[in-house]
Chain A
Amino acid sequence: GENVEQHPSTLSVQEGDSAVIKCTYSDSASNYFPWYKQELGKGPQLIIDIRSNVGEKKDQRIAVTLNKTAKHFSLHITETQPEDSAVYFCAARYSGYSTLTFGKGTMLLVSP
């Protein structure tokens, strides 16, 4: 089955800096890669996703890049704000199945 590795486990940045979280996946057939933001005591919120036919996708301060050859994808947050502090999960969907495989999460702390 699919295996998703996520790094780093924790990331501390100053407000205004950029943050990058990286994930690798094992199954070359995976074709959908979402990123979720989870605040304490809440459910995960889908913030951006990318499909395997696209290399990059942006939404305001958030971007995701995908390298299919290397089987890795990354979340980029620019101009970070304290409200960006949360746990971020990457995931991959194994082609032909409906379940997502999640990374272990990255706790992002943005200090004012």
Chain B
Amino acid sequence: GAVVSQHPSRVICKSGTSVKIECRSLDFQATTMFWYRQFPKQSLMLMATSNEGSKATYEQGVEKDKFLINHASLTLSTLTVASAHPEDSSFYICSASSGARSYEQYFGPGTRLTVT
């Protein structure tokens, strides 16, 4: 099956610092990657969609200067939380789909970000 990895799985950082989260598709080429944020006991909230080599499309209300997304290759996308604050603490999950199997969307294991 399709496997998506994320790194790190957990990160604790101080307020004002930046944090980078990596998302990799391990056994398929991901033409499209998605970044979600999930609060406790809630559903997934789409933050942005990125296509390889193109600028990410952000959902309404998501600050693109705050959440920097790069999709430089068909197997790697990164999310950088710039100048993180405690309210950015959350569970961040990436997802990927390929052109060949574009109906299916596979999720990574998630990254727990805690900003102190």
Contact = CB atoms under 8 A, between A and B. Distances in A.
Interface string A14-34: 000000000000000000101
Contacts of B46: 99-100
Given A99-B49, A102-B44, A104-B43, A49 B109 contact: no
Which range contains the number of A residues in contact with the other chain?
20 to 34
Interface in B45-89: 46, 49
Interface stretch (A36-44, A55-63, A76-84): A36-44
A44 B93 contact: yes
Given A98-B102, A99-B34, A44 B49 contact: no
- Overall SS of chain A's interface: strand
Given A98-B97, A99-B49, A103-B43, A41 B112 contact: yes
Contacts of A32: 103
Contacts of A12: none
Interface residues of B, number: 21
B69 to A, nearest CB: 14
A41 B110 contact: yes
B49 A98 contact: yes
B29 interface: no
Contacts of B49: 98-99
Interface string B80-115: 000000000000010001000011111111101000
Nearest first, the 8 closest Cβ-Cβ pairs linking A and B are A43-B107, A43-B110, A43-B109, A44-B107, A104-B43, A102-B43, A43-B93, A32-B103
Interface of B: 4, 6, 32, 34, 42-44, 46, 49, 93, 97, 102-110, 112
16 contacts: A34-B105, A42-B109, A43-B6, A43-B108, A49-B103, A49-B104, A89-B43, A93-B103, A98-B32, A98-B97, A99-B34, A100-B105, A103-B43, A104-B42, A104-B43, A105-B42
